Amino acid sequence: MACVSGLMSWTVAYQVNPYEEKGIMLSPRSLKFSEAIEKMKKVLKLNQDFYGKVVIKSILEKGCAYENILTVAKLGEKAPLLGDDSEHRDYGEVILVKKCCEPEELLESIKARTIEIGQTPIKIAGNGIGYRLTGSSFKAYRLSDDLDAERSHSACWPVHEFTLTCEKSCAGFSHAPLIAYGCQPFADIEHAIEDWVGIEDFLGQQDARLGKVTVVVPSYMARIHPLELVGKEGTQCKIVTGVEGTLQTTFEIQLLYKLGDKKWESEQRECKPNEPIHFDLRGFPEEVQIYLLSANDGIVDYHVERKGSLNHGLKRRLFKDVPPEIRRDLTGGENERVEYKPFIKRDDNKETEIIETVVAFANADGGRIYIGIGDHGEPEGVTKGLVKDYRPRGKPDVKGLVSKYCDHLKRLIEKQVLDRNEARTVKVRFDSVEYRGKTIVVVEVKKGENPPYYCGGYDIFIRRGATNKRASPEELQKLFPEWIARQIRS
């Protein structure tokens, strides 16, 4: 186990749902490990009602590889919900990864999950979690040497607080927001470096220099409330928010939002408890991050949300949620009424699979085809495929491309899906939804009024479980006896 010096700070990580890690940095840099443990116990005990049941997932030493628990890559296997052992909070559901850990039990739990530092490699361990990094892969760059220190200082950020590191053994990029009271907020280190240095000098995800920063979530003093997005897509809109709390102190709300594929926009306002404030946005946002800060305690509360996200258990929401019936389809897997398809370009042979599914749904009780979803339910979206297929000039209009693609599918279905009288009577509706940040095309097929339906080659398809199959004579006799009788008479 590592011998911890007095110039370290520690972060306790806890999990609030299967997709998100959060953390509390409880000690200033001057505290030793034993003192940090006592402060952790005190804060968790004082704020037990707010944080709920807490399980220590990992302890990270400041200065090591993965500092930011808030947006760190998913650690190990996703933890399942444990039924009645979960507690609902405004942040979502507190997941008990292993067992409920009372404050008195923290010491042994922390020791069991402390970073182990050998010669090489460095190992971050705990709860089945493990990342191995080669010690020789680190090289630090001081801002004063490698970046425009004057510009970074003018942005209110002390130069000595940030370094760029070369972590060649790591494929990921730390998407940690840079937040501090009185300072301009940044969505991540890439956003900050673009502002400080200029985009020409920074290669983003492809740059070997990776940024590291810790997001602090201190003890509960106040919360973001109300939280409302006013407006609709295609128009300017505003966010109404504020601070709910009993402490008579001044807070600052920092807002980050992104409009489509554009860069991040940011604003910051001072506010007092129970006084709502309004942020006028330049358009309808795709993603919003709101941080509540106090001068002495760092981040007090925050809310991060993307358009189309399912917001597992979150009570606070800005964007309208995915319709419940579509949410069930996208989380429940393929079945007799649900089909997943990746993007299929125009005039591709695989378009016949869409036609066959439309026929099978129309011959049964109807169903929905989701284009932009992998076979295992992972959202892939259609945006990249549409841009590659249509090759628009300039910045692509995603909504326009989706509309063109739906029109193409409509013409294809009208041409190839026929009923017994060769009248195009199958009812199909097209739509698109945002799901986990991806655009998904939804093809909804109604139960046919005039079955059986068939493709241009006179193949009659029916649905069996999550697959389409050609109906055998026996199945046709069972499903469509009147039609068979008429065929025999004629």
pLDDT grade for 468, boundaries at 50, 70 and 90 = very high
User: When comparing pLDDT for 79 and 102, which is higher?
Assistant: 102
Identify residue 372 by its one-letter amino acid code: G
Residue 462 confidence (pLDDT) above 80: yes
Residues 40, 41, 43, CA angle at the centre, nearest 5°? Answer: 65
Q: What is the 3-state secondary structure (H, E, C) of 65-133?
A: CCCCCCCCCCCCCCCCCCHHHCEEECCEEECCCCCCCCHHHHHHHHHHCCCEECCCCEEEEECCEEEEE
Model confidence at 365: pLDDT above 50: yes
How do the domains of the chain map onto residue ranges?
1-133, 222-306, 324-489
Per-residue confidence (pLDDT) for residue 78, from 0 to 100? 27
Task: Give the mean model confidence (pLDDT) for residues 250-265.
Answer: 85
pLDDT score at 215: 25
pLDDT the model gives residue 231: 81
List the one residue out of 217, 59, 80 whose CA is nearest residue 129.
59
Which pLDDT score, from 0 to 100, does residue 43 have?
53
> Which pLDDT does position 112 carry in this prediction?
42
Most confident of 311-320, 402-411, 433-442: 402-411
The third-level CATH classification (topology) of the domain covering 222-306 is Immunoglobulin-like (2.60.40)
Q: Is the pLDDT of residue 490 over 70?
A: no
> Quick check: 465 and 335 in contact, CB under 8 A?
yes
Identify the residue with better confidence: 121 or 409.
Answer: 409
Report how far residue 126's alpha carbon sits from residue 60's, in angstroms, rounded to the nearest whole number: 10
Maximum separation of any 2 CA atoms in the chain, in Å: 94
Average pLDDT over residues 311-334: 68
Confidence bin at 457 (pLDDT 50/70/90): low
- Higher-confidence residue of 207 and 340: namely 340
Query: Of 359, 483, 467, whose CA–CA distance to 414 is shortest?
Result: 359
At 477 the three-state DSSP class reads helix
How many Cβ atoms sit within 10 Å of the Cβ of residue 44? 22
Q: How confident is residue 181, by pLDDT bands cut at 50, 70 and 90? A: low
E strands of 350-479, at which residues?
367-371, 428-435, 438-445, 461-464, 467-470
Is the separation of the CB atoms in 401 and 424 below 8 Å?
no
**Interior/surface letters 451-481, b for 16+ CB within 10 angstroms, e for the rest:** bbbbbeeeebbbbeeeebeebeeeebeebbe
Q: Are 427 and 368 in contact (CB under 8 A)?
A: no
Distance of CA 45 to the CA centre of its chain: 30
Q: At residue 345, does pLDDT exceed 60?
A: yes
How many whole angstroms separate alpha carbon 330 and alpha carbon 341? 12
Q: What is the mean pLDDT of residues 407-416?
A: 89
Statement: residue 487 has pLDDT above 50: yes
- What is the pLDDT at residue 272? 78
Q: Which two three-digit tokens encode residue 247?
A: 């402490």
Residue 39 is which amino acid? K
Distance between CA atoms of 60 and 125, rounded to whole angstroms?
9
Rounded to whole angstroms, how far apart are CA atoms 426 and 445? 8
Using 50, 70 and 90 to split pLDDT, how confident is the model at 454?
A: confident
Residue type, 42: K
Sign of CA dihedral 405, 321, 215, 56: negative
Q: CA 93, CA 81: separation in Å to the nearest integer?
A: 9
Question: Which pLDDT score, from 0 to 100, does residue 90 have?
Answer: 27
More confident residue, 88 or 177: 177
> DSSP assignment, residue 273?
B
Classify burial at 485, counting beta carbons within 10 Å of its beta carbon; exposed 0-12, middle 13-18, buried 19 or more. exposed
The rounded percent of the chain whose pLDDT value lies above 90 is: 16
Per DSSP, the chain holds a count of helices (H) and strands (E) of 12, 24
List the beta strands (DSSP E) in 176-263. 209-211, 222-230, 238-245, 251-258
Mean pLDDT, range 99-126, rounded to an integer: 32
Give the pLDDT mean for 51-71: 35
Neighbouring CB atoms inside 10 A of 387's CB total 13
Q: What is the mean pLDDT of the chain?
A: 61
- Amino acid 145: pLDDT: 29
pLDDT in tens, 128-157: 222 222 222 222 222 222 323 332 222 222
pLDDT at residue 162 greater than cutoff 90? no
Distance separating alpha carbons of residues 159 and 289, to the nearest angstrom: 25
Residue of 86, 84, 89, 95 whose CA lies nearest to 51: 89
Q: Is 186 exposed, middle or buried (0-12, 13-18, 19+ CB in 10 A)?
A: buried
Least confident of 111-115, 225-229, 283-287: 111-115
Which CATH architecture is the domain 324-489 placed in? 2-Layer Sandwich (3.30)
User: β-strand 209-211 against 367-371: which pairing, if any?
Assistant: unpaired
Specify the pLDDT at position 194: 55
Q: How confident is the model at residue 178 (pLDDT cuts 50, 70, 90)?
A: low
Which residue, among 468, 469, 485, 489, has the nearest Cα to 477 in the 3D structure? 485
Residue 57 near residue 115, CB atoms below 8 Å: no
**For 489, which DSSP code?**
H
Q: Is the pLDDT of residue 442 over 80?
A: yes
pLDDT tens-digit readout, 192-226: 545 544 334 444 444 443 332 222 222 334 677 77
Q: Would you place residue 368 in the very low, low, confident or very high pLDDT band (cuts 50, 70, 90)?
A: very high
pLDDT at 268: 92
Point out the least confidently predicted range of 105-119, 287-301, 335-349.
105-119
Does 99 score more than 70 pLDDT? Answer: no
What average pLDDT does this structure show over 319-342?
Answer: 83
Residue 415 in this model has a pLDDT that exceeds 80: yes
